[in-house]
């Protein structure tokens, strides 16, 4: 199958990687890698030329990955438009994910495992936009929640309302930050969001534990004098 796209003019080869697999197998793996990877958007492909045109989520420049035969082996050459900024990290990522895809094709992997890998790629996918203020805020709020949880162990009386509100606030900020970041977002920082979510989980558990412990201590502190006073009342026979 061949799909067309508007080719970028004056492309120049910027990277080359050799693989221990036939060109046809490498091309099939390359096409699948680019289609399902969170870091690339496929624009079109040419099965005859064994090439795929793609974009990076951070821009509109079109790149081309070509598979050429190299004896029993094959090589993948990436062509980039003239004058484009260095994207060596993206090229390395493509070669790494292609290697993983080729390795997966030679190993029987259950469908559930493949779906799980795609899910986590989607969760952890990010873009190259400016850093999200929501992501930074999520980390700050999560850290404040953790500090509040630790200090709550020394409280004199339980404050369940404040604990629940803080827990809801932490996860609400993480949720908003998660939605605005990622592959489809205009701002980056998905890694910060995941860190904030992990801190929020720890803070939530500590807040609940602290509230329960303080509740128990509070009940014992005020129950003891009451019991003593009741025992001191003379019994009428």
DSSP state of 235: P
Give the least confident one: 2-6, 110-114, 155-159: 2-6
Q: How crowded is residue 111: how many other Cβ atoms within 10 Å of its Cβ?
A: 7
pLDDT at 38: 80
pLDDT level of residue 9 (50, 70, 90 thresholds): low
Using one digit for the tens of pLDDT, what is the confidence trace for 73-123?
A: 899 999 999 888 888 889 999 999 999 888 877 665 666 776 777 778 778
pLDDT level of residue 217 (50, 70, 90 thresholds): confident
Q: Answer whether residue 8 shows pLDDT above 50.
A: no
Model pTM? 0.52
Reading across the β-sheet that carries 11-19, which strands appear in turn? 11-19, 73-81, 62-70, 51-55, 41-46
Q: Are 19 and 80 in contact (CB under 8 A)?
A: no
The residue ranges of every structural domain in the chain are 11-124, 133-231
pLDDT at 208: 95
Domain 11-124 architecture = 2-Layer Sandwich (3.30)
Looking at residues 189-218, what average pLDDT do you find? Answer: 94
Is the model more confident about 120 or about 18? 18
Q: Answer whether residue 140 shows pLDDT above 90.
A: yes
pLDDT level of residue 5 (50, 70, 90 thresholds): very low
Is the model more confident about 221 or about 176? 176
pLDDT level of residue 44 (50, 70, 90 thresholds): very high
The mean pLDDT value of the chain amounts to: 85
pLDDT level of residue 193 (50, 70, 90 thresholds): very high
Closest C-alpha among 92, 76, 79, 94 to residue 21: 76
CB half-sphere exposure, 167, CA atoms < 13 A? 18
pLDDT at 3: 53
Q: What angle do helix axes 111-124 and 190-232 make, rounded to 10 degrees?
A: 90
Give the angle 69-117-121 at the CA atoms, nearest 5°.
85
* Angstrom distance (rounded) from CA 46 to CA 232: 94
């Amino acid at each position: 199958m061949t799909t067309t796209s508007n080719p970028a003019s004056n492309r120049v080869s910027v990277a080359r990687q050799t693989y221990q697999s036939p060109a046809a197998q490498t091309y099939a793996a390359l096409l699948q890698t680019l289609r399902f990877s969170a870091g690339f958007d496929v624009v079109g492909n040419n099965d005859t030329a064994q090439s795929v045109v793609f974009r990076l989520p951070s821009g509109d420049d079109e790149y081309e990955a070509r598979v050429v035969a190299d004896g029993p082996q094959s090589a993948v050459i990436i062509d980039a438009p003239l004058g484009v900024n260095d994207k060596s990290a993206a090229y390395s990522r493509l070669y790494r994910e292609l290697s993983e895809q080729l390795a997966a094709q030679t190993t029987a992997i259950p469908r559930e495992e493949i779906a799980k890998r795609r899910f986590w790629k989607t969760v952890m996918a990010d873009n190259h936009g400016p850093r999200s203020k929501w992501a930074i805020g999520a980390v700050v709020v999560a850290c404040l929640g953790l500090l509040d949880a630790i200090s709550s162990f020394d409280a004199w009386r339980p404050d369940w309302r404040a604990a629940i509100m803080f827990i809801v606030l932490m996860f609400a900020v993480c949720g908003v930050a998660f939605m605005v970041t990622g592959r489809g977002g205009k701002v980056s920082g998905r890694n910060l969001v995941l860190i904030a979510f992990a801190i929020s989980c720890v803070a939530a558990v500590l807040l609940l534990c602290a509230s329960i412990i303080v509740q128990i201590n509070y009940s014992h502190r005020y129950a003891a004098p009451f019991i003593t006073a009741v025992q001191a009342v003379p019994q009428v026979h």
